[in-house]
Amino acid sequence: MTDLLQATSLAKKFGDHEVIKDVSFSVPRGTVTAIVGPSGSGKTTLLRGLNALERPDSGIVQIADVSVDFAKIRASRRGRLGSADRALLRRYQAHSGMVFQGHNLFPHRTALQNVTEGPIVVQRVPAAEATENARALLAKVGLADHADKFPYQLSGGQQQRVGIARALALEPDLLLFDEPTSALDPELVGEVLDVIRQLAKEGRTMVLVTHEIRFARDVADEVLFIDGGLVVERGRPRDVLDHPKHERTQAFLRRLLEV
């Protein structure tokens, strides 16, 4: 199976704090990779790095046919990028869709408008076509009847599912999930996980940061355990999660199971 994503030697500092030290991994097309680890381990920063929302200081990421060498992307002293760099990052970002922890839906647009916004405004898809497509996506995440509601009229789980539909609407090769259920009430977690599970079944390539160990075991093809900005352990879920080799992984899982 060919790799859709290949990340090599990613590193990121915030001031003097090295959040990501040296992380390399790859994601084969059609597989699901779960990133787990204690809070502060750098997993969210890593995921945001894959989308360049938080640009790594160095390292190379190739997604599909676009490769970015982050060491070469240098902002000017004023924090501005050159137009060539900006264009490259835009092409790079177009390959992935992001689902945020806090959904970040556009509050001033209805569920349907949230989903059609990208296709119509960015991809210039004709409105009728984009709307039809968006309705299908909302139906897919179980929200056909909620298309014309504003985000505030939806529950947290419904909002997150609109967020997933919004990411899907741009037909990205890769879907990134940043702790998609950790801001939700427990009884709403299931409906979001069901949608993600469904997407996994369809063969979507996904990378997700999650605290739901059981879910990770269920859907992931590979698990990365990250701590201190490094990949401590990686492998099939049943190896990493059920028979962790590394002491830090064991300690983390023990803590989680104690709760």
Min dist CB 221 to another protein, Å, is 24
Site string for another protein, 16-55 (x = CB under 8 A): -----------------------------------x-x--
Query: With CB under 8 A as the contact rule, which of the stretches 56-64, 93-101, 125-133, 215-223 interacts with another protein?
Result: 93-101
Total residues interacting with another protein, rule: CB under 8 A: 31
Min dist CB 104 to another protein, Å, is 4
Indicate the helix (H) or strand (E) that contains 197: helix 186-201
Q: Does 124 bind another protein (CB under 8 A)?
A: no
Min dist CB 248 to another protein, Å, is 30
Q: How far apart are CA 87 and CA 116, in angstroms?
A: 23
Q: What token pair was written down for 19?
A: 């959040």
Contacts of 148 (CB under 8 A, 6+ apart): 110, 111, 112
- Do the beta carbons of residue 168 and residue 175 sit within 8 Å? yes
Q: What are phi and psi of 224, to 5 degrees?
A: -105, 125
Q: Tell which one of 71, 123, 148, 245 touches another protein (CB under 8 A).
A: 123
> Which residue's CB is nearer to another protein, number 207 or number 241?
207
Q: Does 102 bind another protein (CB under 8 A)?
A: yes
Closest by CA to 35, choosing from 207, 228, 206, 189, is: 207
Helix (H, G, I), strand (E, B) or coil at 257: helix
Min dist CB 76 to another protein, Å, is 9
Q: Does 229 bind another protein (CB under 8 A)?
A: no
Min dist CB 44 to another protein, Å, is 12
Q: Does 107 bind another protein (CB under 8 A)?
A: yes
Q: Does 6 bind another protein (CB under 8 A)?
A: no
Sheet hosting strand 96-99, strand order edge to edge: 96-99, 174-178, 205-209, 32-36, 222-227, 230-235
Closest by CA to 22, choosing from 34, 7, 35, 4, is: 7
- The residues of the shown chain that bind another protein, judged by CB under 8 A, are 51, 53, 78-80, 86, 90, 93-94, 96-98, 100, 102, 104-109, 117-118, 121-123, 150-152, 166-167, 170
